[in-house]
Structure 1
Amino acid sequence: MPSRSKRNRPAARALLAAATVLLTTSVATAQPAPWHPERQVTLIVPYAAGGGTDATARAVARQLGVLWKQPVVVENLPGADGLIGTRRAMEARPDGYTLLLQVPAIVLTKYTPGLKGIDPLAQLAPVTAVSQSPAAIVASARLPVKTLPELFQYCQKAPQPCSIASGETLARVSAKQIAAEVPLPGLITVNYRGTGAIVTDMIANNVNFAFTGITAALPHHRAGTLRILATQGRTRAAVLPDVPTTAEAGFPQFQSTTWFGLFAPKGTPAPVQQGIVAALREAVKDADVRQAISAAGAEPVVNEPAVFAAQVREEDERLGALVKRYPLE
């Protein structure tokens, strides 16, 4: 007759196996708490206050501060086509405490004369998009035009050459494209340091039109002092349902969508990046944040680092090809 210990061995083994499965499952399903900062975070905006990048940064910074229970301070560092602020982020410690909000123009830095071929993307990690918005072609309401074709026809026949405002590198490339492809061979490009000054001069018709974000132009469009003639997305902007896209207006080559994206110094650990993405997903659910993004003519788009990195590479290829056709001077 087998001993009691031998009779209990199968039951003991079954119990041990069940305990092992339970422990393994618990370990596998346990998720570490997302990274969050333990002190102030700086969010750098490499452009002047008042534009779409700045408005987006301030909206998300407020809510990230609430979620993290730490201050998130927006720091505007304009200059050198965004390189001054961008370089500050490039040189920061890769610990999640210095972030950068940038737009597609970042990919053109390496083509800009005088910047010695500096490529910020080689020293930054794309973390996530925050929102995206079609840019727009905006004209002074003092011009006798109401549509994009009318603007181009006016500029082709006007006794004085038309002028286009440029606040950053991408706008200068787009101005060259318009001059060559409309064509407007006498088009004068006037460079500015910020969107605010562009808007002021367009209202006064000191400069005739510009490529710009919807944010700064929208209140003046509604007031009748500026006219948004076309938006550059694949579909009409939700805040401007009556304004056609450039493709609908007959100029599909001027199609472009602006993303506002978060970057961190290269080498920022993956868990830190994931913690930022997780917090941002929650931040854009806030009604005030969504309202701020919507007022900027944009929509929230939070994605994973790998997805955003692919988006940046695609923009790099597209704009790289464009700048080779229309080199910066």
Structure 2
Amino acid sequence: MPLERFKKHKPPPVLCALAAVALCALAPPAFAQAAWHPDRPVTLVVPYAAGGGTDATARAVSKQLGMIWGQPVIVENMPGADGLIGTRRVMEAKPDGYTLVLQVPSIVITKYTPGLKGIDPLARLEPVTAVSMSPAAVVVSAKLPVKTFGEFVQYCKTAAQPCSLATGESLARVSAKQLAAEAGLPNLIVVNYRGTGAIVTDMIANNVNMAFTGITAALPHYKAGTLKILATQGPRRAAALPEVPTTAEAGYPQFQSVTWFGLFAPKGTPPNVTQGIVAALHEAVKDADVRKTIASAGAEPVVNTPAAFAAQVREESERMAALVKLYPLE
């Protein structure tokens, strides 16, 4: 399929204007004097395997939150079922602020995933706030003889063996089907993994060729020269990777995706509790070590109001619903 086909695509709407998000992160919250804080340990569920971007983000803020609250914030990894196992624990928890989940945009298409019986986690969760934001990236093994996204597509069209694409969650599987259909790669092999850590390991060995993934897990290996990041998927170049073009610059504007790492609480959690959590996070991301950890992962700290975060979630839900209609999960 000619490259011109891609240039005709209009970029999908951005989750929210990053400039506005930055202002949200800097502006003091109206509820800064919120009285709620925990009087016993808080559990922060990460519904994916250790080593990925969600896990790194959780661990970046949990220690500081614990210091602010004077109570431990325990990060608990519960991978499985595209994040539903860990998320379900929070869906069924008491809505009191003591059990939270850190999720990513793939949560919006859980209800479309075969085998999960149409369960919609968003119907039983309360959006609390974004914690950080990072553009997703097009990552390939450094062993491949390609330097650009376009070269990778051409390589896959002529390679003796079909190219393979690793996915760790449903959103990436939708993007994989979109790439296969729109780039003319009908033989693209999609390999499903339980976590980003295993994807990175296999890409370094070139057991799998490529992945759409967050910058977090790939960045240190990119710097070490064992992985290549061909493009980032935000509306502008990533601050951590100014030398890497965006997918739009590479001629593939439809592959635009910004990953938010967001906190959710059980549905029915009182507003004063969610506001207390946001107020504490606002303080947590001011910490130099927290900001350094988030920045080293290629992300930017972002803390917004429950209403603003809920709007982000709705926007992503609408965008992905349209894509799933074109490229249904199987």
TM-score under structure 2 normalisation?
0.90
1:211 partner SS: strand
Inter-partner Cα distance in structure 2 for 1:307 and 1:269:
17
Residue in 2 that maps onto 1:6: none
Residue in 2 that maps onto 1:185: 186
Which runs of 4 or more aligned residues in structure 1 lie more than 3 Å from their structure 2 counterparts after TM superposition? Answer: none
**How many residues end up aligned between the 2 structures?**
300
Inter-partner Cα distance in structure 1 for 2:316 and 2:61:
24
Inter-partner Cα distance in structure 2 for 1:322 and 1:142:
31
Q: Residue 94 of structure 1 contacts residue 269 of structure 1 at CA under 8 Å; is this kept in 2?
A: yes
- Post-superposition Cα deviations, 1:178-235, rounded to whole Å, max 9, x if no partner, equal 0011121110001111111111111111111111111111111111111000000001
Residue in 1 that maps onto 2:27: none
1:227 aligns with 2:190: no
Q: Residue 130 of structure 2 contacts residue 260 of structure 2 at CA under 8 Å; is this kept in 1?
A: yes
Inter-partner Cα distance in structure 1 for 2:59 and 2:137:
22
Residue in 1 that maps onto 2:63: 62
Which residue identity lines up with residue 41 of structure 1 in the other structure? V
Which residue identity lines up with residue 302 of structure 1 in the other structure? V
Residue in 2 that maps onto 1:288: 289
Distance 1:266 1:46, change over 3 A: same
Equivalence map 1:1-329=2 (5 Å): 33-329=34-330
Inter-partner Cα distance in structure 2 for 1:321 and 1:138:
25
Q: Residue 34 of structure 1 contacts residue 278 of structure 1 at CA under 8 Å; is this kept in 2?
A: no
Structure ID, larger Rg: 1
Inter-partner Cα distance in structure 2 for 1:34 and 1:212:
38
1:253 partner SS: coil
- Post-superposition Cα deviations, 1:51-106, rounded to whole Å, max 9, x if no partner, equal 11000001110100000000000000000000000000000000000011000000
- Post-superposition Cα deviations, 1:257-287, rounded to whole Å, max 9, x if no partner, equal 0000000000000000000000000000000
Inter-partner Cα distance in structure 1 for 2:44 and 2:35:
19
Q: Residue 285 of structure 2 contacts residue 291 of structure 2 at CA under 8 Å; is this kept in 1?
A: yes
Provide the alpha-carbon RMSD of the alignment: 1.1
Q: Residue 81 of structure 1 contacts residue 169 of structure 1 at CA under 8 Å; is this kept in 2?
A: yes
1:252 partner SS: coil
Inter-partner Cα distance in structure 2 for 1:64 and 1:290:
13
Percent identity (aligned): 79
Inter-partner Cα distance in structure 2 for 1:276 and 1:225:
39
Inter-partner Cα distance in structure 2 for 1:55 and 1:32:
29
Q: How far has the Cα of 1:34 moved from its partner?
A: 2.2
Q: Which runs of 5+ in 2 are unaligned?
A: 1-31
Inter-partner Cα distance in structure 1 for 2:109 and 2:241:
29
2:303 partner SS: coil
Q: Which runs of 5+ in 1 are unaligned?
A: 1-30
Which one scores higher on RCO, CA 8 angstroms, separation ≥ 6? 2
Which residue identity lines up with residue 104 of structure 1 in the other structure? P
Q: How far has the Cα of 1:32 moved from its partner?
A: 6.2
Structure number with higher helix proportion: 1
Q: How far has the Cα of 1:33 moved from its partner?
A: 4.7
Q: Residue 49 of structure 1 contacts residue 76 of structure 1 at CA under 8 Å; is this kept in 2?
A: yes
Which residue identity lines up with residue 110 of structure 2 in the other structure? T
TM-score under structure 1 normalisation?
0.90
Inter-partner Cα distance in structure 1 for 2:161 and 2:309:
44
Distance 1:161 1:89, change over 3 A: same
Inter-partner Cα distance in structure 1 for 2:275 and 2:34:
11
Which residue identity lines up with residue 211 of structure 1 in the other structure? F
Distance 1:33 1:310, change over 3 A: closer
